Structure 1
């Protein structure tokens, strides 16, 4: 099917083309790298760190810091991406190169030499805010009696976090992991706005962006709605598989067991 909505029955040919596509191994590895790195370093890792730090300092200071971190989330996507492009442009006066200049280092063409760094930073800093809100709410829902009991028993701040708080927010961590993984698998907006999948051939191209490129961006006047749709089906399958793995690892079945109350 094309823009004129003329149908041409091809059976399973679009799915067979997936096996023959020479670029899919690279795009698949790009997707795994992008999802794993952004998820662990930012969407879950840094989000959890920010939540823990801001809930253990002065309450007003912590709330103000979290509010500032929400600014990228409420900034229009195009403006947010343009700010990153401005900060990483190749001339010596850009923000990143100005910082390098403080240490006597030469300017760098960030988009050409380190495109993945830009992609992960752009997506990561905006992705932190979601997990930060969920984790902060979960931490604040822990009863004060539990916290004070641990402190009375002599628990240090690290021991309080390691043995009390983290086990009690296990399920919010599972939710953020699953949700953000699915979100990253299907996200391509900021990659499109910053690197466009380049530089070069598919350097930062991920699965979702490849689907968009095939179905809606014309290369030589040719669009491939059917092939893009077939690739999108596999994207859904990948998300389901990862979700099932998370549920097994976090033993989700235990959450669904009704608590037993013993009455003497």
Structure 2
């Protein structure tokens, strides 16, 4: 028995080393760094909870926190709604699986496109000169002069850009869930005279309850920690109009060289994410018990 355990640990050791070096140690260093005044001089001087006081005193903190709540909340709502719409349309209403798969493959293009390339495409599309594709369409429809789309509608743009990269995963999950619903439920509903909307509302959506919860919480975790698209398109601007919590940590640490302060901002986010993970576990466990 002991020999079998040793063999198991031996096989797992590369994975354990990988997890320790790339995840556990950086997390520990982040926690330690959050209580220091570490900056470009790289002097590890502990300053207690001064960094957290600084976060509370920063006049931009409420704006950034509200930006994060709006960004995550609006994006999650639109993501789940569009995921459900596309999944039901391509799986229930369009019974031709080949056509549905082609459409879902198109949805995956933004998700698999490298972030830098994807963001550059948005910058080109919304270029503030007459050469920008959006401005060409706008002026062809009667616009008098080109618009600076990113400066005028920054929040709408980052939500739209993020949304396109999010819907493919949820659509795929929901499509699989719709396919797993027993066909006899649909037949029984039609025999009882139920219309298509009643079937969607009373059969499909209740069967997708667990999956909707999973996608909403999973995407929330991803959006809280992801800032690359925002950084590449607006860099948090104009001003701090699109600055979110994760991007703020990046700016403080790597733009302003306030590594300790950036780590403190990150630590706040880590605590929020851990709480959400506990919520995910509790919700999943509760829904699993209610299903059984």
What interval of TM-score do these two structures reach, taking the shorter chain for normalisation? 0.7 to 0.9
For residues 123-144 of structure 1, the C-alpha deviation after alignment (integer angstroms, 9 at most, x for no partner) is: 1111111111111111111111
Deviates more, 1:105-114 or 1:91-100: 91-100
Output the CA distance in 1 between the equivalents of 2:290 and 2:86: 32
User: Greater relative contact order: 1 or 2 (C-alpha under 8 angstroms, separation 6 or more)?
Assistant: 2
Output the CA distance in 1 between the equivalents of 2:99 and 2:274: 39
User: Does 2:114 align with 1:103?
Assistant: no
Match of 2:213 among 152, 166, 174: 174
TM-score by length of 2: 0.80
User: Does 2:195 align with 1:159?
Assistant: no
Match of 2:153 among 104, 109, 114: 114
Output the CA distance in 1 between the equivalents of 2:242 and 2:289: 40
Output the CA distance in 2 between the equivalents of 1:28 and 1:214: 15
Match of 1:211 among 232, 242, 249: 249
Unmatched 5+ stretches in structure 1: 260-264
Task: Specify the structure having the higher radius of gyration (Cα).
Answer: 2
User: What is the aligned-residue RMSD (CA, Å)?
Assistant: 2.1
Unmatched 5+ stretches in structure 2: 1-37
Corresponding residue number in structure 2 for 1:190: 229
Output the CA distance in 2 between the equivalents of 1:92 and 1:143: 54
CA displacement at 1:103 relative to structure 2: 2.7
How many residues were matched structurally?
252
Output the CA distance in 2 between the equivalents of 1:54 and 1:95: 30
Change in Cα spacing, 1:102 to 1:53, as seen in structure 2 (3 Å) is: farther
- 1:27-176 matches, within 5 Å, as 27-41=64-78, 43-55=79-91, 56-57=93-94, 58-106=96-144, 107-176=146-215
User: Does 2:53 align with 1:16?
Assistant: yes
User: Does 2:291 align with 1:255?
Assistant: no
Output the CA distance in 1 between the equivalents of 2:105 and 2:47: 52
Output the CA distance in 2 between the equivalents of 1:81 and 1:216: 20
Output the CA distance in 1 between the equivalents of 2:166 and 2:107: 10
Q: Which structure's residues are more often helix, by fraction?
A: 2
CA displacement at 1:6 relative to structure 2: 2.8
Corresponding residue number in structure 1 for 2:10: none
CA displacement at 1:91 relative to structure 2: 2.2
Alpha carbons 2:40, 2:258 under 8 Å: kept: no
